[in-house]
Amino acid sequence: MLAIRLIAEPDRLDVLVLPVRAADSAELVPTAVTPLDGTADEAAALVPAARLTGRAGEIHTQVRPGRTPGRMLLLGVGDGDEAAWRTAGAALARAAMDETHITIALPVEVTPAAVRGFTEGLLLAPYRFRLTEAGTAPTLDSVDLLLADPTAFETTVATARTTAAMTRLARDLTNTPSSVKNPQWFADQVAAAAADVPDLRLRVRGPAELAAEGFGGILAVGGGSASGPRLVELDWHPADARTHVVLVGKGITFDTGGISIKPVPAMKLMRKDMAGAAAVVAATLGAAELRLPVRITTLAPLAENMVSGAAFRPGDVIRHYGGTTSETTNSDAEGRLVLADALAYAVQQLKPDLLVDLATLTGANAVALGKRTGALYSENDQLAADVLAAAEAAGESAWRMPLHNDYAEYLGSEIADLYSAPAQGAGSVLAALYLREFTGELRDRWLHLDMSAPSWADGDHAEVSRGATGWGVRWLLRWLASVD
């Protein structure tokens, strides 16, 4: 990952970046460290000459043969808030990919939030997932941030670096093809990442333990695959924790739809169906690295939903952890079955203060909210507001959706406690209502995020790179840092 230095005096000026803000007319921002003689005047004259607007991410390159610096970049930072600086950092990282080193003069009154956003943009935008080095494009190696007091921002940059590293981990896990990625492989990746981390404990249940303890949903969904299911339980328990949060992430490592088989175009990207598990695991690892004073137990129910003689069928009745039964109406609605087991286990055995799940659950998420926004469901106004605020600060979009109780009647089955996937009503809402049935006494402290749409990007956008986005890691770390 990109090397970032915080310095007060430049010692290498190949490329100098100066910020330009948007105002009534764009203007050069006074920087904490004065550029070389004449550079600031030249840049100020270039702003109107180049017709710059100062919008976040706008870049103008000035070549200066035989002078120092040899190239000067004018970088639009919009109104200077964190989101604008994140966009600027992402644009700069992409524009400077052919460079090896750049120096950025930051404003006199730059805030920690702006530095965090800028650093995250720099670190996340260049991400690419490839299983071969052939044809790999060059990337920027190192960046110097010029600041009047570099030590004042060391913690901020360290937090941004951890956040970006964990987001990239979630992207890697999600992008990995399912020819490599199965439930045991995912569990092994978690074990390797968690090894030797103080106060972090891992338990992985295999098929025999899942059967002995009654995790019928996970076993049913994973029953059709030669790669058996797993349940990862990762516990971060610092001594100073006062609040216990359980995070649950859907971990379907490949989804054929089962007997209710998907069409080929819909199946092609189903390696991403474990993005919720990737997000909650990466956020927990990040919380441990940052030593956040909150206990986090993460549950990642992992299964492959495959077609075989052992696959579960539409019409089967599944007995979940704790005894609640579901009549399966559609084997392609498998994610809620594994989540139901994990939620019930969390409520009955872990008894947390707060319960949050993330899942690539329904295509209806994208129909309702488009490609970049997650659907948030909760009956707890404060919890919903706190998560939405964290998501906005992190640059990850979410929108609160209604839990219509008049749809709950559609969950009724004649032969079981619940239908798993009724055909009536709104798909994303009904999926949330189904999960709510497994939250028990934590119903008023539970939050569900349907992240099917924002978990994957078809192209680059600001700090998001095409492919898996790692959506959820950034807001989770912000929110977990604020939990009291």
Looking at the annotation, which residues are catalytic? 262, 336
Q: Which residues contact 262 (CB under 8 A, 6 or more apart)?
A: 255, 256, 270, 332
Rg (CA), the chain: 24
End-to-end CA gap in the chain: 32
| Residues 347, 350, 353: CA angle, nearest 5 degrees | 75
Q: Which residues contact 264 (CB under 8 A, 6 or more apart)?
A: none
Tell me, rounded to whole angstroms, the distance of Cα 51 from its chain centroid.
36
| Residues 244, 249, 255: CA angle, nearest 5 degrees | 170
Structure tokens that stand for 251 in this block: 């971990």
- How are beta strands 446-450 and 418-419 bridged, if at all? unpaired
Q: Name the residue among 143, 85, 156, 92 with its Cα closest to residue 114.
A: 85
Q: Are 326 and 337 in contact (CB under 8 A)?
A: yes
User: DSSP letters of 302-358?
Assistant: EEEE--STTS--TT-EEE-TTS-EEE-S-TT--HHHHHHHHHHHIIIII--SEEEEE
Q: Are 144 and 10 in contact (CB under 8 A)?
A: yes
Structure tokens that stand for 42 in this block: 């030249």
